Amino acid sequence: MEAVAQIACQLNDTFSTDSDVVRTSTVALDRLSLLPSFPFGLLSIATGGESNGQRVAAATYLKNFTRRSVEGNGSDSKVSKEFKNQLMQSLLLADLQVLNVLVETFRVVVVAEFVKQDSWPELVPQLRFAIQNSNLILEGANSQWNTINALTILHTLLRPFQYFLNPKLAKEPVPPQLELIAKEILVPMLAVFNHIVKKDLSTNGFTVIETERILLMVCKCLYFAVRSHMPSALAPNLPSLCCNLIRILDSLSCNVGPTLEDGHLLRLRVGKRSLLIFCALVTRHLKYSNKSMPDIINCTLRIVRHTTNIRKLDFLFEKILSLGFDVISHAVETGLGWRLVSPHFSFLLESAIFPILVLNEKDISEWEEDPDDYMLKNLPSDFGEVLSWREDLFTARESAINLLGVISMSKGPPMMISAKGSASLSKRKKGEKNRDHCYMGELLVFPFLSKFPLPYDANALEAGILDEQVNWHALYNYFGVLMAYGSLENYIRVQKPEYTTTLVRTRVLPLYTGPTCLPYLVASANWVLRKLAPCLPKDMTEDIYSSLLKALAMNDQGDTSWDLVRVSAVGAIAELLANDYPPPKWLPLLRFVIGRIENENDEVLFNLLSSVVEAGIESLAVHIPFAVSSLVGALLKQGHPSLDQRPGLSVFESGIATLAVMVRTWENYILQEVGPTELGEKCKSARTIIGKALSALLQQAWLAPMHSAVEEDEVSPCLLCLVDSSKLLQSVLLSVTGSDVSFELKVPELLLVWADLIADWHDWEESGDLSVFDCIKEVVNLNCKFGLKNFIVGQMPSPPAPPVPRQSIIEGIAAFVSEAISQCSSATWRVCSIVHVLLHVPIFSFETDIVKQSLVSAFSQAAFSRFREVRSNPTSMWKPLLLAISSCYLCHPGTVESVLEKDEDFEIWASALAFACTGSFELALFWKSEMELAEK
pLDDT in the model for residue 826: 77
d(CA 379, CA 401): 10
Q: Which long-range contacts (CB under 8 A, 24 or more apart) does 233-240 make?
A: 233/179, 233/182, 233/183, 233/186, 233/187, 234/182, 234/186, 234/187, 235/288, 237/187, 237/190, 238/281, 238/285, 238/288, 238/289, 238/291, 238/292, 239/291, 239/292, 240/190, 240/194
Convert the pLDDT of each residue in 866-900 to its tens digit: 888 887 777 677 788 888 888 888 888 888 888 88
State the sign of the Cα–Cα–Cα–Cα dihedral 566, 571, 577, 579.
Answer: negative
Convert the pLDDT of each residue in 571-603 to its tens digit: 999 999 999 999 999 999 999 999 999 887 677
Statement: residue 712 has pLDDT above 50: no
d(CA 831, CA 838): 11
- pTM value? 0.82
pLDDT in the model for residue 5: 82
Q: How far is CA 694 from the centre of its chain?
A: 31
Give which of 79, 5, 16 is closest to 44, Cα–Cα: 5
Structural contact between residues 228 and 161, judged by C-beta atoms closer than 8 angstroms: yes
Statement: residue 200 has pLDDT above 80: no
Q: What is the layout of strands, in order, in the sheet containing 423-425?
A: 423-425, 411-417, 435-439
Statement: residue 718 has pLDDT above 70: no
**What is the enclosing helix (H) or strand (E) of 435?**
strand 435-439
Of 84-93, 275-284, 405-414, give the lowest mean pLDDT range: 405-414
Highest mean pLDDT among 259-263, 701-705, 715-719, 881-885: 881-885
Of 404-418, 451-465, 484-498, give the lowest mean pLDDT range: 451-465
Residue 279's pLDDT band (cuts 50, 70, 90): very high
pLDDT in the model for residue 432: 46
pLDDT in the model for residue 377: 75
Amino acid 238 reads L
Contacts of 675 (CB under 8 A, 6+ apart): none
Statement: residue 132 has pLDDT above 70: yes
d(CA 922, CA 747): 37
Statement: residue 232 has pLDDT above 60: yes
d(CA 122, CA 130): 12
Structural contact between residues 316 and 268, judged by C-beta atoms closer than 8 angstroms: yes
Residue 201's pLDDT band (cuts 50, 70, 90): confident
d(CA 268, CA 276): 13
Instruction: Give percent of the chain with pLDDT exceeding 70.
Output: 83
pLDDT in the model for residue 388: 47
Structural contact between residues 652 and 638, judged by C-beta atoms closer than 8 angstroms: yes
Helix, strand, or coil here: 655? helix
For residue 845, what is the DSSP state? S
Statement: residue 281 has pLDDT above 90: yes
Structural contact between residues 105 and 63, judged by C-beta atoms closer than 8 angstroms: yes
Residue 798's pLDDT band (cuts 50, 70, 90): low
Beta bridge partners of 560: 557
Structural contact between residues 791 and 809, judged by C-beta atoms closer than 8 angstroms: yes
Residue 224, exposed/middle/buried by CB under 10 A (0-12, 13-18, 19+)?
A: buried
Contacts of 164 (CB under 8 A, 6+ apart): 172, 228, 229
For residue 291, what is the DSSP state? T
DSSP-assigned states of every residue in 563-611 = HHHHHHHHHHHHHHHHTT---S-HHHHHHHHHHHHHHH--HHHHHHHHH
Convert the pLDDT of each residue in 614-654 to its tens digit: 999 999 999 999 999 999 999 888 766 554 455 556 788 88
Of 233-237, 304-308, 358-362, 388-392, give the lowest mean pLDDT range: 388-392
The mean pLDDT of the chain is: 83
Residue 691's pLDDT band (cuts 50, 70, 90): very high
Residue 259, exposed/middle/buried by CB under 10 A (0-12, 13-18, 19+)?
A: exposed
Instruction: Give percent of the chain with pLDDT exceeding 90.
Output: 45
Beta bridge partners of 411: 439
Structural contact between residues 152 and 93, judged by C-beta atoms closer than 8 angstroms: no
pLDDT in the model for residue 771: 83
Highest mean pLDDT among 304-308, 335-339, 515-519: 335-339
